[in-house]
Amino acid sequence: MKIALIGDLHGNYVATQALEAELRRHQVDDIYFLGDAVGKGPQNAETCDWVMKHCSLCVGGNWDYGIGGKEFPEDGYFWNQLGPERMEWLRTLPPERDVWISGVHFRLFHGRPVTPLISAQTDKEVFTQAFRPNGEVYTGIIFADSHRPFVRTLNDGYALNTGSVGNSLGVPRAHALIIDGELGCQTDAPMTMTILSVPYDNEAAAELARQDVNLPHRESFITEVLTGVYAR
C-alpha cells in the first residue's frame, strides 16, 4: 500500500496540480492531508476543494483553524475566497489521527497548534514530547509545518516531515512523503519512506499572486515561491 502524505499547500494550486500528476505517475493508493491547505497563496478555494476531493484522511493546521475560525480580522481575503462551507470544514478538522503501518504506530498531526514548530534541528526532548502525548506512546510521528521535508530516526522512533506542497522553504519545489508499507499492520514488516520532490512552474504561481493586488503579504509569498527564502 502506497500512501502519500502532504501538507502546507497554502493556496498554491499550480504546485498542487504538478504534485497531483506526479502522484498519479507513482500510482499511490491514497493521500493523507496533514494541514494548512489555505492561507498565503492566491487560489484557496481550488486548493481546499482538491484536498476535500482527494484526501481520505485529514488533520487541521494552524492556518486552517485560524482562517476557518475567523481568528484574525486581516484574513478577510481568504474568507471571501472560501465561503462558509469550506471554512466550516477547515474549522472542524481533527487536530490529529493515528495509523499503524508495518508495525509502526504513527501519530499524524500538522505541528502547530498541537506541538511547537518542530524542524529537523529541534532538540530531541521536543521530539520525545511529540511521541508521548497524554500517556500514549507512539513509535512514529508524521507532521508538516516546518515547510522542509525530513526523515529523522530517534530512540523514540521515526520522525518524518512531509515538507510543503505550495510554500517550500530551502528548495522551492513541491514536496510530499510517500510511505510504501503494510497499512493497518501492527506486526513488524518492511516499509519504505521516500521524499518526493516535484518541480513546478514557480513563475506562473508567482504571477497569479502578482496579479492579485488584494492578496495579503503578496510580496512575501512571491519571494518564497520563487526562492525558497522565508520572507515574512
Nearer to Fe ion, 36 or 156 (CB): 36
Measured CA distances, 111 to 95, 143, 161 (Å): 9, 6, 10
In whole angstroms, how close is the CB of 118 to Fe ion at the nearest point? Answer: 13
Q: What are the start-end ranges of the E strands in 36-92?
A: 57-58
Which residue sits closest to Fe ion, CB atoms considered? 36
Residues that bind Fe ion (CB under 5 A): 8, 36
The Cα–Cα gap between 175 and 5 comes to 9
What is the grid cell recorded at 207? 504571477
Based on CB atoms, which residue is closest to Fe ion, 126 or 137? Answer: 126
CB of 184 to Fe ion, least distance (A): 29
Phi, psi at 194, each rounded to 5°: -125, 140
Q: Which is nearer to Fe ion, 66 or 181 (CB)?
A: 66
CB of 6 to Fe ion, least distance (A): 12
With respect to Fe ion, which residue has the nearer C-beta, 62 or 102?
62
Min dist CB 177 to Fe ion, Å, is 15
C-alpha cell at 138: 507512539
Which amino acid appears at position 89 of this protein?
A: W
